[in-house]
Amino acid sequence: MELLSTGIPAFDFLIGGGFERNAQILLLTETGSMGEILPLQIMDFRLKQGDSGLVLDLDLPTARIREWLRHFNFKIEELEKGKKFFLVDGFTNLYGKLQSEEEFVIDEPRDLIHLNTYLYNVIQSMKEYKSSYFNVCFMSNIMLSKGQDIDKIINLIYKSKMLLSECGTSIFVFNKDILDEKSISTLKHIFDYVIEFKVSETNERYKRFLRVSKSPTLDYIDDLIPYELEKKGIALSTEIMEEFNRLKQHLKMPEKGVVELLGTRIIINEANHETQIIKSIIEKYGYEKAGKMIYSQGKEISKSLVEALMRHFKPSSLSEAVPTYARFNTLRGYGKFIGELDEKNNTLRVKHLNSTFCDRYTNLKKPTGFWISGVITGLYEIVTGKKCITEEVKCIAKGDEYCEYITKPINT
């Protein structure tokens, strides 16, 4: 599998080493995030690596795009003359027939049929040059199309995505402030990667965050990563990524025979030790009863470490607590955890790779992550103060590629 670097080492790290070639990426911005700079920043790097480029613009004055690209020392005119770069203006005529200085202009960008035909012809022309393209499509204003038939709009986006996948890698940019929840959910489903921007206000100061919420591979980091706008573009803070190394400092041996993690004494055991205990409980009490017992113990025993985590790191919400606690459990050898929180429904989804428990029970063909289910429940209840239930919907023990848990609050 060939991975394309974005030219931003911290971002490559987040997405698992780079984008897969010909991948189609959804980028969701928020007002004030300035997230539209990121794809142009990546495009500048990809063109310097020898790719060709297309910018399809329905959202911004093309003069602003050219200004940003020149800021990256992007030699626009030189590349355009060599047919290595194309800028399609679909913005100028959104609000009436106006004069555009661009060579490629969409006359009726609000007309889906016209837009579909234009895009098809442009993409067919790109294929003639037999080059590998990096494409950026600013598409938010497609929602202003005549009639605003969401199904037809989504269908056009899907067709454009499929056609562009034959030419190279593409980033489709949408401002999620103008999309409804259903449209956002549908778009997330049809793209390979999903990158989201978030702007929050704390103590009358705005903070900007980036999150990789979907990837075709499991080797990616799903955290809210703070970033700043600098002269060279978007600069991601590596503080959160370096936090894992700082966590190791909390693993101490204050005296011989004593190991502490966050001030809590722990014992380092061979993985087979715990799995053998679970196996013995299942054999003695049966699958159903053993599952309930182990779940309950995981929930109760996890509380001491969760409480220590709360004291040391003071997470203000579940979305902050989950990534930190996941790294702790990774440090303890339990495997890799990827957490995804649906804040609207207060639902937590956790993917668990390289489980120390479930990969020993593949002969059972049943979920066996009772302990981890209990641990996740304990975390949820302590951080939120709400009762919940955790279900293991995928499990290595029953043949799945990884284990997956869904935690939901209990309505009382």
Query: Which range marks the domain in which residue 339 is found?
Result: 243-409
DSSP symbol at 142: G
**Which strand ranges, in their side-by-side order, compose the sheet holding 258-261?**
251-255, 258-261, 264-266
In this structure, are 299 and 366 located in the same domain? yes
Say yes or no: 187 and 285 in one domain: no
The mean predicted confidence, pLDDT, of the chain is: 85
Q: Clarify whether residues 217 and 266 are in a common domain.
A: no
Is it the case that residue 139 has pLDDT exceeding 90? yes
Q: Per residue in 62-103, pLDDT tens? A: 999 999 988 887 788 888 888 889 999 999 998 878 888 888
Kindly state the tokens that stand for 201: 């206000």
Residues 251 and 169 both lie in one domain? no
Domain stop point among 216, 237, 258 = 237
State the total domains in the chain.
Answer: 2
Residues 341 and 403 in one domain: yes
Cβ(247)–Cβ(327) below 8 Å: yes
Q: Which of 237, 264, 299 is the last residue of a domain?
A: 237
197 or 412, which is more confident: 197
Q: Is the pTM of this model over 0.85?
A: no
Residues 52 and 134 in one domain: yes
Inform me whether the pLDDT recorded for 278 exceeds 70.
yes
Report the distance separating Cα 15 and Cα 353, nearest Å. Answer: 17
Do 161 and 280 fall into the same domain? no
pLDDT tens across 292-327, in order? 999 999 898 888 778 877 777 677 778 778 877 877
Pairwise CA distance, residues 56 & 53, whole Å: 10
Per-residue confidence band for 117, with pLDDT thresholds at 50, 70 and 90: very high
CATH number at residue 157: 3.40.50.300
Neighbour-count burial of 239, counting CB atoms closer than 10 A to its CB (0-12 exposed, 13-18 middle, 19+ buried): exposed
Q: What is the dihedral of CA 367, 369, 374, 379, to 10 degrees?
A: -120
From 35-44, 49-58, 116-125, 357-366, the region with the lowest mean pLDDT: 357-366
Q: What is the pLDDT of residue 46?
A: 93
Would you report the helix, strand and coil content of the chain in percent, each value rounded to 5? 45, 25, 30
Could you give phi then psi for residue 384, rounded to 5 degrees?
Answer: -95, -25
Percentage, residues of the chain above pLDDT 70: 93
* Residues 278 and 316 both lie in one domain: yes
For residues 261 and 358, state if they share a domain. yes
d(CA 235, CA 158): 31
Are residues 120 and 264 located together in one domain of the fold?
Answer: no
- Identify which has the larger pLDDT, 384 or 138: 138
According to DSSP, residue 348 is labeled E
Task: Specify the CATH number for the domain of residue 336.
Answer: 3.30.1380.20
Per-residue pLDDT tens over the stretch 16-57: 889 998 999 999 999 889 999 999 999 999 998 989 999 999
Distance CA 100, CA 135 (A): 21
**Which amino acid is residue 225, in one-letter code?**
I
Residues 137, 250 within the same domain: no
H-state helical runs in 166-286: 181-190, 239-248, 271-285
Confidence of residue 361 (pLDDT cuts 50, 70, 90): confident
Assess whether 130 and 226 both reside in one domain. yes
